[in-house]
Structures are given as structure tokens and as C-alpha cells.
Amino acid sequence: MPSSCDSLMEDIEDMVSSSDPTPHERQSARKSIIPRARKKKELLSDEELQADSLIPGTQKIWMKTWGCSHNNSDGEYMAGQLAASGYKMTDDPTEADVWLLNSCTVKNPAEDHFRNSIKKAQEQQKKVVVAGCVPQAQPRMDYLKGLSIIGVQQIDRVVEVVDEAVKGHSVRLLGQKKDGGRRLGGARLDLPKIRKNPLIEIISINTGCLNACTYCKTKHARGDLASYPIEELVERARQSFQEGVCEIWLTSEDTGAYGRDIGTDLPTLLWRLVEEIPEGAMLRLGMTNPPYILEHLEEMAKILNHPRVYAFLHVPVQSASDSVLMDMKREYCIDDFKRVVDFLKERVPGVTIATDIICGFPGETEEDFEATIDLVKAYRFPSLFINQFYPRPGTPAARLEQVPAHVKKQRTKELSQVFHSYNPYDHKVGERQHVLVTEESFDSQYYVAHNKYYEQVLVPKRVEFKGKMIVVDVYEAGKHFMKGKPVEESKPFTPSIAMPLQKGEVSGLLQVSTYMHAYSYSN
């Protein structure tokens, strides 16, 4: 529990301006502090010894992130800043002094895991700091009482919050980033970070969205649309490639809406980013809702056909019934969704369209559900995220009359069976493909690569393949993957223009050290 001298700061607006110190300047200042040496004769009291043992910046921190790639990006930035300031990030929760829990509010089970982790940490006498969409949307929940909170737009201040938590204080930073009254996309993009995968850079291009979906809790946390300027995003991509990254993921709550708040749009950003991508490196687009991509279809088709962009788009449909979509306030009808998919399939041969479906939304009839089943049968989506509806507290959909639990369960099962009734990759056996190798499979038996259509291809685990573009012959296909045999006469191509960072190494410190070097010469 927090001590009586808690500094409880809630709903703080974090105003930023061009005169503020950058994170790197803050970092440099922190590193240049020299501790006062004690004279030998000074004796330490018990109280001083105890205080010394709690010097912030020396503890081990375990971080757990739930949810989307935007949340994962936030987690990478928080880990990087903590490591850069002296904390040791650990993969072992038992040896950690502090648990940093980065939450997701999309579904009840994710929040349940988060709540259980808080309880577990408290039972083990760990210091707890919480972040992500749950505490941002509902900071006054009983189980968050007394805990320090980092708001989704305050991740650049994670070190301050953890420092205070280590000392037994409770600090809550939940405000919005603003400049001259305008809401910003979030914390600066040039902060130190630790990439979960040193080959993949996740860039959040905007936060929030323009919709007000009746089932969505994320809106309560991320708010309305706020986009990062194109120059900042291009510079972030440039820096990533200089650190050996060979794949960039663009993420946000709705990439299609990017720029509408700052007088630009997604295609304009993408054409600028494409100029920065080295040969063999790839760009993956994030989730986009149908309304905001409709007016950009021509340009999007051209971009998805670009050799350095995956021909992949995640467009959530949620339901094939117009009445259900209306109750969800999705702001499109099923014909709009079909127009997006049909157009891209025609103009981008082989394009992968991933989608999401919610089963058992309040008011969904058998006819509504059958329309959704027919849609999946017609389009045979290779990637389909099936979600049983969970009413999230405080959302309009939670107040509607609910579909009985057993019906929701049955519909989820039935849709799942339809999805598993077809194999989208069988016809690709025998093809020769260029694939980019970036990850290791869950069972550690293979490396995971992706072809131009962002389809998963498992390849032999040979160290010389990691981070390389290789040529394979597809010899086997499963439901979610293909297996490829490397073509021996072809040589692996290296897209990275620099050596990738080591796993756990902090990105962005090159800029910090350069700044400090320049500072020492100018002073």
C-alpha cells in the first residue's frame, strides 16, 4: 500500500512545446549527475541504509503487455527508457522488484488476466505500476486503488512514475499531450526503446479514431484521432533502418483515418515512407476501418502493389448484417466493405485481406448471423479473428439486451468450423517465392518468413537466414502457414543497411551519445 506521503497526481495535462527539453536531453542530464562521495568518518543510520537500498534506477523490472501492436509499441518504448536510465529489464517475474503491467481493454478476458496479475504481484510483495488502456479508461476501479498509473499518452514519463513507485509513492499521469491546445499523437517517437524483435520496428502513426462504436472500450482510453506529423514518422523509419531493422509495421486504432486531423492522408504518408525503405526490406500496414479507406482505394492499390510493401490489409467487418452494423455504429454498410475487398482483389492480385467478426452482438438474429456465415464462405478470408461478444462496462452495447451466452458460444463455434473448413494455401504448393525471414516459430523448430502477401512461410532454422530475403520452393501447406525449402543456388539477400541491435539492446541511444558528445565539445 502507498505511504501517507503519497503524491497522488491525477488527470495532469502534459503541455509540450518546442522549448521543452527532449527526452534525450533529459536522459543526458540524468547520466551527468555525479553522486556526492561520503567522507569515511560519516556513519550511516539504519534509516539512511534503508533509503539507500531503495535508490530508484537500480531495480529489476518485469513487464507484461497485452493487446494490439500499438500497445506493444508503447511497451517497447517504456522498456527502452527504463533500461536507458539504469533499470534492468528481466524476463523472470519472480526476480523482479517491480511489475509493469501494460493492459488491454478490448475484451473481458484480457482485463481479467491483467487484474489477476496485479493480485499476484501484490501477494508476492512486488511494487506494481500499471499502464495501457484499462487504467486510462477507468482509473478509479477498486482494484487499481493506490497503484501508480502511466497514461497512454504519458509513456515518455515512465521513469518518473517507476522512480516514485519504488519509493512507495503513488503517481498517476493520465493527461493528454497538447501543443498550443491541439492534441498530439502521443509521446515523442525518438524515445529510447527495446524492440521485442530487433528486426521489426512498430510505428504508431496516430492514436484514437473518428468512430464511436457502441461496443468499444478502447475509445474511452485512446480518445479522438490525433496523428503524428509525416516528417516525424519518416524520421523514425529512417532511424529504424539505421539500426538494422528490415521490417516496419504501421499501427494505430485506425490507420485509414490517419492525417484527417492535420490536413493530410494515409497515401501521402505511405509514398513518403516507401522512399526510405531499403531494397528487400518491407512495410506492413495496420488495421483500417472501411469508411476511411474507401476514398483512397486507387492510391492504396498502387501502394500495396509496390515491391517493398506487403500486399496485406486488415479490414474489420465485424458483421455482414446492416442492422447489426447500425447498432454497432460502424458507419458503413456491408456493401462498402465488399467494395473495398473486391476493388483491392481486382487491382492487387493475390492481396491478403484479414478481417474480424463479432459473434452474438446484442440484437443479432439468426438471419443476421447467417449473412455473416455466407460472407465468410464467399470470401474465404485466410486470416479471420473471431470474437465472442463481451459487453464492456460503460459502453452503450453493455446496456442493450444481450444474446444468451449459449447462443453466442454456439455461433462462435459454428463460424470457427466454417473458417476451418477451407485451406487457403493448398494451391500454392510448388510455387517459388521470395520471403523475408524475421522471427522464430513458437515451437522453436523453424524460422518464420513472410512472402509478398504477408503469408507465413516456415523455413529451416539456419542462422544465416535470419533477417534475410531468401528464395524458397513451397512444398507443404497448412491452415495458417506454408513450408518452404530454400533454393540452394540462390544467395540470401541482406536488406538491413546496418547491423541489427542485439536482443534487449536499447534503440535510440546512438542519438543520446551523439548529443552528449556534441554537448561536451560545445561546452
Q: SS3 letters for 359-410?
A: ECCCCCCHHHHHHHHHHHHHHCCCEEEEEECCCCCCCHHHHCCCCCHHHHHH
Residue 231 identity (one-letter amino acid): E
Q: Report which of 250, 252, 305, 251 is spatially closest to residue 273, judged by C-alpha positions.
A: 250
Question: In a 10 Å sphere around its CB, with 0-12 CB exposed, 13-18 middle and 19+ buried, how is residue 60 labelled?
Answer: middle
CA 297 to centroid of chain Cα atoms:
25
Q: Report which of 461, 385, 454 is spatially closest to residue 425, judged by C-alpha positions.
A: 454
**Number of C-alpha atoms within 13 angstroms, CB side, residue 173?**
22
**What is the distance between the alpha carbons of residues 241 and 248, in angstroms, rounded to a whole number?**
9
Q: Give residues with Cβ within 8 angstroms of 168, minimum separation 6.
A: 2, 3, 54
Q: What is the dihedral of CA 14, 83, 72, 433, to 10 degrees?
A: 140
**What is the distance between the alpha carbons of residues 74 and 37, in angstroms, rounded to a whole number?**
37
Q: Report which of 226, 239, 249, 229 is spatially closest to residue 314, judged by C-alpha positions.
A: 249
**Other beta carbons within 10 Å of 176:** 21
Q: Which three cell numbers stand for residue 390?
A: 463481451
Q: How does DSSP assign 144-212, residue by residue? A: GTT-EEE-TT-GGGHHHHHHHHHTT---EE-PPEEETTEEPSSS-TTS-B--SSTTEEEEE-EESBS--
Bridge partners (DSSP) of residue 172 are 149
Looking up cell 470474437, which residue turns up? Answer: 387
The C-alpha angle with vertex 491 and arms to 489 and 496, in degrees rounded to 5, equals 165
The DSSP code for 502 is P
Give pLDDT, residue 261: 94
Give pLDDT, residue 5: 39
Residue 344 identity (one-letter amino acid): L
Q: List the domains of the chain with CATH numbers.
A: 60-178 (3.40.50.12160), 199-422 (3.80.30.20), 427-500 (2.40.50.140)
Can you give the pLDDT of all 523 residues of the chain as single tens digits?
Answer: 444 333 333 333 333 333 444 444 544 444 443 444 434 334 434 444 444 457 887 899 999 999 888 888 999 999 999 999 999 999 999 999 999 999 988 887 888 999 999 999 999 999 999 999 888 988 888 999 999 999 998 999 999 999 999 999 999 998 888 777 777 878 888 999 999 999 999 999 999 888 899 999 888 888 899 999 999 999 999 999 999 999 999 999 999 999 999 999 999 999 999 999 999 999 999 999 999 899 999 999 999 999 999 999 999 999 999 999 999 999 999 999 999 999 999 999 999 999 999 999 999 999 999 999 999 999 999 999 999 999 998 999 999 999 999 999 999 999 999 999 999 999 999 999 999 999 999 999 999 999 999 999 999 999 999 999 999 999 999 999 999 999 999 999 999 999 999 999 999 875 443 333 332 223 3
First to last CA, the chain: 45
**What is the distance between the alpha carbons of residues 509 and 81, in angstroms, rounded to a whole number?**
10
**What is the distance between the alpha carbons of residues 379 and 481, in angstroms, rounded to a whole number?**
18
Residue 239 identity (one-letter amino acid): Q
Q: Report which of 247, 202, 218 is spatially closest to residue 74, judged by C-alpha positions.
A: 202
Looking up cell 518504448, which residue turns up? Answer: 77
Q: Give residues with Cβ within 8 angstroms of 349, minimum separation 6.
A: none
Q: Report which of 78, 130, 143 is spatially closest to residue 104, judged by C-alpha positions.
A: 130
CB 403 within 8 A of CB 366: no
Q: Report which of 235, 228, 380, 354 is spatially closest to residue 284, judged by C-alpha positions.
A: 354
Give pLDDT, residue 53: 54
Sign of the CA dihedral 507, 56, 31, 29?
Answer: positive
**Number of C-alpha atoms within 13 angstroms, CB side, residue 417?**
6
Give pLDDT, residue 508: 82
CB 214 within 8 A of CB 395: yes
**Other beta carbons within 10 Å of 133:** 29
